[in-house]
A = this chain, B = another copy of it.
């Protein structure tokens, strides 16, 4: 069993060479923003999951490096275009691409990144290409649908927990599920194991996003790596806000509404007040419970995989670290 860390190290090393190649391709003004957005970092969770899933069924997961790069490119393309749409200025501690290179560059370089991910897929073994392309393109469309729902939720008065879960399933979870299944497909895994890995990815992806939302409110600024309370300031309809509106008493609900309607407020004061309501209304506990529920369902899928139990260690560790993570 190759550890996640080893896969990550070997992926990152080869990926950095890839980024250098991209950076020096002509026209440089098209490719430089792509290299910039990739080299800034990120946890590389998706390519590592792809390579790990492949390693469960073959000794040579590194053969699938192009597909792993494809997934990472596609993920970063979505961040790049999302940042334009959300008017987000900072990504991973540095200027977002549209701020650094201008909006036109961000649109066009993003387009190229998305297409490059499909060109990388064309390097897959021809016999596997049909299933890989079907899965990847379907997933990619779903991610767009998720972003659409996310934008629509900003304008909607009310969003249910079910609608929220469906949104994060599309926007976040399907690409994690796709990473795992693509690795398994490429390594020639049987249909049932492919399906189970996909479902594990979907469930753990939802848990991952719920945890992200929770950390945005209760995380530690230093370890979480981004501003705490950002979602509260922007009135984002996360699981916490929706739960608080559903579970809170009349006073809690009207207090939240009051805060969300204020255009002029002291950030620290708003974050502290809303956080207190999230805690007192039980929204925090409910979100943690929901997260645990998705985590447990994911582990259940993992248990059903017909591979050696010792081979499940890394994914179990990944799932449990996720629940206890601080960043």
Contacts and interface: CB of A to CB of B under 8 A. Distances in A.
Interface stretch (A9-17, A41-49, A112-120, A232-240): A112-120
A26 to B, nearest CB: 8
Given A133-B122, A137-B115, A27 B149 contact: yes
Interface in A96-131: 104, 107-108, 110-112, 114-116, 118-119, 121-122, 126-127, 129-130
Chain A contact residues: helix, strand, loop or mixed: helix
B145 A119 contact: no
Contact of A148 (B84, B108, B126, B145): B108
A115 B144 contact: yes
A263 interface: no
A141 to B, nearest CB: 5
Nearest to A123: B134
Interface string A192-212: 000000000000000000000
A121 B144 CA distance: 18
A108 to B, nearest CB: 6
A85 interface: yes
B119 A118 contact: no
Contacts of A137: 115-116, 118-119, 121-122
A156 to B, nearest CB: 12
A115 B114 contact: yes
A133 to B, nearest CB: 4
B108 A147 contact: yes
Q: Work out how many copies of this chain go into the complex.
A: 2
A140 interface: yes
A143 to B, nearest CB: 9
A27 B148 contact: yes
A151 interface: yes
B122 A141 contact: no
Given A29-B148, A121-B137, 8 more contacts: A27-B145, A30-B144, A84-B104, A110-B111, A118-B133, A119-B138, A126-B127, A129-B130
28 contacts: A27-B149, A81-B107, A81-B108, A84-B104, A85-B104, A108-B144, A108-B147, A108-B151, A110-B111, A111-B111, A111-B144, A112-B141, A112-B144, A114-B115, A115-B137, A116-B137, A118-B118, A119-B134, A119-B138, A121-B137, A122-B130, A122-B133, A122-B137, A126-B127, A126-B129, A126-B130, A129-B129, A133-B133
Interface of A: 26-27, 29-30, 81, 84-85, 104, 107-108, 110-112, 114-116, 118-119, 121-122, 126-127, 129-130, 133-134, 137-138, 140-141, 144-145, 147-149, 151-152
